[in-house]
Amino acid sequence: MSESLKVAVAGLGNVGVGVVKILEEHKELIAERAGREIVIKAVCARNHNVDRGVDLSGYIWVADATTLADMDDVDIVVELIGGEDGIAFEAAKNTLNKKKSLVTANKAMVAHHGAELADLAQDNGVALRYEAAVAGGIPIIKAIGEGLAANKLSQVYGIMNGTTNYMLTHMESRGLSYDEILEEVEELGYLEADPALDLDGIDAAHKLAILSSVAFGTKTDFDNVYIEGIRKIQGVDIEYAKELGYRIKLLGMTKFEDGNLSQRVHPVMIDRNLPIAGVMDGFNALVVDGDYIDRTFYQGRGAGEGPTASAVVADIIDIARGHSGPAFFKPAAKLVSANPVSINARKGAYYVRLHVKDEAGVIADITAGLKSASVSVETMLQKGSEQDGTVYVVITTHETTETAIKDALNRINELSSVIENPLSIRIENL
């Protein structure tokens, strides 16, 4: 068996502890699969004295994560600190510049600096691996970059945030309001330290930017991802979606054609009978379309100590086996800068929910507003009057444009009968 591979772990949160557990508990199995022993030499965390439920006494403790790569007996640094910049980014750059391989679960850092890090890794002849940054326990990076390497891919989409999928699932299955399910996920500890990362779609957008690069060979371009979260979704929308034959999901979607890259994260209404519509709770799911494979579907746990740590260790094993190809599966210099496609270029049907006063002429005014923007109505639903004298009016449209629907809603919002800002959700035929 070859000489052992020596690892330093920066960050000892749930995932970092999970990595330590796997490397210790599966030591012999991993050595057999990797062709050599993998040994943890050093660890780094802000607080040395926290009981993390695992014995760390046999490892060297280092105070500054940026210096781990300076150690002579470290071959790989595993960065699990998080954050797009700061210590994590400095540690990553120093690792690669010291000609040592980097494994990270840091989706924000890869989404913002993927092309730069790929350049550094290639220039220094070392590996950059980040399977754990996208979809946790689903090996989607390897599936796209290796398993589907013979295909020209056209589209990738999916559920990329387990917390919001859990929330939407239980708003439907248990009839909970947005505020009620938000309180529950806060108590369960499902939210990121900054809840906006989950609720506003930013976490999913980080992952989508990475998937675009892997699938299409483009430079990571987080700044041109259209992002919209789930904060405006109410129980009434869940109920109407069901009545109309749809289910609401927060999806990330990326398409590449003729040098033009569309990247968007937002709530959608999709046919309830689609496989991805049936993915519930904290699970993630990805769909990849290619010319020779047609369509492939992947489902699994998208986060948590076990699934994410499993992906980290798989990357370490790959490096131990000698796999050190380009980070995005093509030479860094050949990653292209794509032309971003604006959300305003979208064409399709829309769901519109209006909360209005229950008075004569309201429907005629709404219809006039839609007509003036050249938006055609497919269905219109109105529930009985509420005790406060207001009603919900729900409309689905025929195919129209993003610009037209915005124009229509702006006109309708000016009506004195409108109680709150109208909500629109894009209907996707996937």
Q: What is the pLDDT of residues 342-357, one digit of tens each?
A: 999 999 999 999 999 9
Q: Give residue 384's pLDDT.
A: 63
What's the whole-number mean pLDDT along residues 254-262?
Answer: 96
Residue 263, CA distances (Å) to 206, 209, 283 in order: 11, 7, 22
Whether residue 225 contacts residue 205, with contact meaning beta carbons closer than 8 Å, is answered with yes
Q: Mean pLDDT, to the nearest integer, of 2-21?
A: 94
Least confident piece of the model among 141-150, 188-197, 334-343: 188-197
pLDDT at 119: 96
The residue among 270, 160, 287 whose CA lies nearest residue 225 is 160
Whether 388 has a pLDDT exceeding 90, the answer reads no
Which helix (H) or strand (E) segment holds residue 268: the answer is strand 260-271
Position 10 confidence tier, pLDDT thresholds 50, 70, 90: very high
415 is written with which tokens? 């009506």
Could you tell me the pLDDT band of residue 324, with boundaries at 50, 70 and 90?
confident
Once rounded to an integer, what is the mean pLDDT over residues 285-293? 97
Residues contacting residue 402 through CB under 8 Å, at least 6 positions apart: 343, 344, 345, 346, 347
Q: Is the pLDDT of residue 122 over 70?
A: yes
Segment (H or E) for 348: strand 347-357
Instruction: Choose the catalytic residue: 207, 219, 249, 255.
Output: 207
Task: Give dist(CA 355, CA 402) in Å, integer.
Answer: 21
- Do residues 231 and 171 make contact, with C-beta atoms less than 8 angstroms apart? no
CATH no. for 140-301+336-343: 3.30.360.10
pLDDT-based confidence at residue 383 (cuts at 50, 70, 90): confident
Please, what is the average pLDDT of the chain?
94
Interior angle at CA 22, CA 19 and CA 23, nearest 5: 85
- For the residues 275-298, what does the mean pLDDT come to? 96
Query: Is CATH 3.30.70.260 the right assignment for the domain spanning 346-427?
Result: yes
Q: What integer pLDDT is reported at residue 385 of this predicted model?
A: 60
Give the model's pLDDT for residue 350: 98
Q: Is 242 a catalytic residue?
A: no
What is the CATH architecture of 2-133?
3-Layer(aba) Sandwich (3.40)
Mean pLDDT score, 63-75: 94
**Domain-by-domain residue ranges, the chain?**
2-133, 140-301+336-343, 346-427
**Confidence (pLDDT) at 57:** 85
Tokens of 21: 């557990």
Helix (H) or strand (E) holding 351: strand 347-357
Q: Which two tokens stand for residue 412?
A: 């309708």
